[in-house]
Amino acid sequence: MAITPIHSSTALLDHLARISRAHTEASLEQVGLRPRQLVALTLLRETGPATQQSLASAISIDRTNLVGLLNELESEGLVARRRAEDDRRRHIVELTEAGASKLTAAEVALARAEAELLHGLDEQERQTLYSLLQRATAGHVVDCTAAMHERASACVEAAGDDPC
Amino acid sequence: MAITPIHSSTALLDHLARISRAHTEASLEQVGLRPRQLVALTLLRETGPATQQSLASAISIDRTNLVGLLNELESEGLVARRRAEDDRRRHIVELTEAGASKLTAAEVALARAEAELLHGLDEQERQTLYSLLQRATAGHVVDCTAAMHERASACVEAAGDDPC
DNA sequence: GTCAATCATTTGTGGTGCACAAACGAATTG
DNA sequence: CAATTCGTTTGTGCACCACAAATGATTGAC
């Protein structure tokens, strides 16, 4: 008989995300980012340049709310919008170098807050958690073919840009 | 040299919690609970009867917001408030049988939505995720001694109440 | 060349959840 | 008896969000 957990992760996810927000908000403020901006920059780094449609889908927000989010990030030079060459209706959004730096700085700033947040877990377990979260969220990214096309040509440029 | 993840879990936690909410809201609505209520009932089950102060701390919400939350849960018979015998200023909040049933029903209803949410993980990984989330959140529960005292006497009554 | 459809934008409304503040009454403590 | 604690009430404002309608630029089908 298959063992399935009778208790669901939903409430705990919600709860931990909320505790996380409380722990990390001061660090994020120091770096000058808000939670939603951090998520957007993180997903943009992971997915690579994307259309607004695919980015909205990846972040799971309404495209009208995405416009405002990108306006803020663009006005700070953290992302850039440019017209797709093959369809000028579309914008391709990409992380700028300033954005990548800011994201790295944010993660450095968050490290201590996150160590506190996850103090009940050891180092190995923290890495397991990150990996599981990454794979769970990766299962929900939707790529439009146009964005995939752009990514193919952007990959070469981005190859030397890995923040590791 | 210790390897520490350069990327933090904060953004992914936030993101997965948000996707989770989108996936599970229909199921929760069917059961007649809101996300915040689910979290409160879940933590109440895990911590046992608690003062409002310790519950607010466990859920990480302002005590003035907790009042409204408990009013809703109490009016539906899902929790009960009673005065602490040794300090009538305090209320002890506990899950009722109706509340425990509703929570179990909610988890059953959420099972499919959660399977979709976590389709990128296998069964073992889902259980690992649950365990890590539980231990990460457990590290943040603050118990007042009065609540602990109440729990000692409530434990015997609750022993036959485990929904497993 | 025209028209329908698409992409992004703008403007707007209303909602949830939340932090924070001030004030209050009941109850406890010293 | 006064200070403190616990919970409550009322209030404000913010971040984030879903949803709707309308618009202009652009593309694609015919």
Residues A27/A117, Cβ–Cβ less than 8 Å: no
User: Is B18-158 a domain of CATH 1.10.10.10?
Assistant: yes
Write down the ipTM of this complex: 0.83
pLDDT tens per residue, chain B (164 residues)?
Answer: 444 455 788 999 999 999 998 888 888 888 889 999 999 999 999 889 999 999 999 999 999 999 999 999 999 999 999 999 999 999 999 999 999 999 999 999 898 888 889 999 998 999 999 999 989 988 776 544 334 444 444 433 333 333 32
What are the structural domain ranges in chain A?
A: 22-159
Within 10 Å of residue B78's Cβ, how many Cβ atoms? 24
CA distance B136 to A158: 35
Bridge partners of residue B92, in order along the sequence? B51, B82
Which bases in strand C are touched by protein, i.e. have an atom under 7 Å from a CB?
A: 6-12, 16-22, 25-29
SS3 (DSSP) at A90: strand
Give me the pLDDT at residue A160, please.
Answer: 37
HEC assignment per residue over B59-92: HCCCHHHHHHHHHHHHHCCCEEEEEECCEEEEEE
Q: Do B21 and A12 touch (CB under 8 A)?
A: no
Residues of B in contact with A15 (CB under 8 A): 39, 42-43, 59-60, 137
In whole angstroms, C12 C1' to A53 CA is 22
B31–A contact, CB cutoff 8 A: no
Tell me the CATH architecture of domain A22-159: Orthogonal Bundle (1.10)
What is the rounded CA–CA span in Å between residue B141 and residue B39?
13
Instruction: Tell whether B43 is within 8 A of chain A (Cβ).
Output: yes
Q: Which residues of B touch A24 (CB under 8 A)?
A: 10
